[in-house]
Amino acid sequence: MLRVGMLTSGGDCQALNAALRGVAKTLYNERDDVEIYGFLNGYQGMIYGKYKKLRPKDFSGILTRGGTMLGTSRTPFKLLDEPTPEGLNKVDSMKATYKELQLDALVMGGGNGSTKTANRLYEEGLNVIALPKTIDNDTWGTDYTFGFDSAIEIATKCIDDIHTTASSHGRVFVIEIMGHKVGWIPLYAGIAGGADVILLPEIPYDLNKVVKTIERRDQEDHRFTIIVAAEGAISKEDAALPKKKYKKKIAGRTMSVAYEIADDIFQATGREIRVAVPGHTQRGGQPCARDRVFATQVGVEAARGVLAGEYGFMVADKGREIVRVPMSEVAGRLKYIDPNCQLVNQAKTLGIVFGD
């Protein structure tokens, strides 16, 4: 009997169900003696022994369904060695659940922090494989993560819709797109949506350059300006602050960065400014076609690893090829945008302003 556990950890996103389906269908097609257990609400399910035995029919009809059939939660890696409120040792509890179910493998869909925990469990002796899940596309070692393309589609649709009202009223709009530490979604959606300004965490901005862009567009009779700001956009002044001082400053924020930027622009120009925040809609809804295909691919590759008895890797996309990357090389590392990368330079050539 081959017993496999599966869980989804961290923030939700589109195509998690497609990935789980890819794992299960491959295992069921290759062997007749497979049992699959789904842990509920991420690593919390392993810690507290909350799971359900899944059947082949549970994986039917979920390819197009967003979210995750297993539920998810955040279990911060930095708190992994702190006991639960009930006094449980988290790592020991997860190991005990794994052994109680006599699992041969654990397949985990998650982002950077979740993969760090997966690698810890692998180092503790469990057979673990990770799937690259995050809308932010910031996981090290892979060109692409499932959830990213779907989030871009939603963010781009938001920018498209704002264009018509901005042009009708001659307004400046600041659209806040998800991207706390890394700005892949606002970069791609900003270009796809025809933004005039894109503000990213990796490229600290000068407000004066943003204001000059608005004034120039006014002089050219464009009447409106679309500014796409990552939720982690940072000014040059804030970027120059010591790390602790900056963290203290943002901890005391009473509004998101988009509203701060809008207020700064209003103070400098007197222009009517509006803010749009699509927020968690970027995580929701059905996965796009590309996410469905890629999530299926990584699920199949993970299942192949289980069938071959090979573990300790994250499935990745490298040059459109599905490969395996050691979790030890991936865990906890972020894939930042290079401010001098080709895409940013092409956007600048197009006339898009990044405020640097």
245 — pLDDT class (breaks 50, 70, 90)? confident
49 — pLDDT class (breaks 50, 70, 90)? very high
Question: What pLDDT was estimated at residue 247?
Answer: 81
Low-confidence winner among 2-16, 31-45, 205-219, 240-254 (lowest mean pLDDT): 240-254
Q: How far apart are CA 356 and CA 197, in angstroms?
A: 11
- Is residue 208 scored above 90 in pLDDT? yes
Strand partners, 324: 315
**Look-up: residue for tokens 């494989």?**
129
**Quick one: tokens of 16?**
């998690």
Mean pLDDT of the 211-231 span? 95
Question: What pLDDT was estimated at residue 275?
Answer: 97
pLDDT one-digit tens code per residue, 59-88: 999 999 999 999 999 999 999 999 999 999
Report the amino acid identity of residue 49. G
Mean pLDDT of the 115-129 span? 97
Question: With 0-12 CB in 10 A as exposed, 13-18 as middle and 19+ as buried, what is 285?
Answer: middle
- Is residue 252 scored above 80 in pLDDT? no
Chain centre distance of CA 19: 15
- Is residue 253 scored above 80 in pLDDT? no
Chain centre distance of CA 299: 18
Please, what is the angle between helix 184-192 and helix 148-169, to 10°? 50
* pTM of the predicted model as reported, rounded to 2 decimal places: 0.94
Question: What pLDDT was estimated at residue 254?
Answer: 73
206 — pLDDT class (breaks 50, 70, 90)? very high
* Shared fold status for 2-146+287-330 and 150-283: yes
**Quick one: tokens of 46?**
């392993």
**Is 58 a known active-site residue?**
no
Report the amino acid identity of residue 261. I
The catalytic residue among 12, 136, 149, 196 is 136
Q: Parse the chain into domains and list their residue ranges.
A: 2-146+287-330, 150-283
pLDDT one-digit tens code per residue, 267-321: 999 888 999 999 999 999 999 999 999 999 999 999 999 999 999 999 999 999 9
251 — pLDDT class (breaks 50, 70, 90)? confident
Report the amino acid identity of residue 348. K
3-state secondary structure string across the chain = CEEEEEEECCCCCCCHHHHHHHHHHHHHHHCCCEEEEEECCCHHHHHHCCEEEECHHHHCCCCCCCCCCCCCCCCCHHHCCCCCCCCCCHHHHHHHHHHHCCCCEEEEEECHHHHHHHHHHHHCCCCEEEEEECCCCCECCCCCCECHHHHHHHHHHHHHHHHHHHHHHCCEEEEEECCCCCCHHHHHHHHHCCCCEEEECCECECHHHHHHHHHHHHHCCCCCEEEEEECCCCEHHHHCCCHHHHHHHHHCCCCCHHHHHHHHHHHHHCCCEEEECCHHHHHCCCCCHHHHHHHHHHHHHHHHHHHHCCCCEEEEEECCEEEEEEHHHHCCCECCCCCCCHHHHHHHHHCCECCC
Q: What is the homologous superfamily of the domain 150-283 according to CATH?
A: Phosphofructokinase domain (3.40.50.460)
pLDDT one-digit tens code per residue, 306-325: 999 999 999 999 999 999 99
Mean per-residue pLDDT over the chain, rounded: 96
Mean pLDDT of the 122-144 span? 97
Report the amino acid identity of residue 169. H
Fold of 2-146+287-330: Rossmann fold (3.40.50)
Question: What pLDDT was estimated at residue 243?
Answer: 84
348: nearest Cα among 208, 203, 223: 203
Question: What pLDDT was estimated at residue 246?
Answer: 80
- Between CA 8 and CA 15, with CA 298 as vertex, the angle to 5 degrees is 50
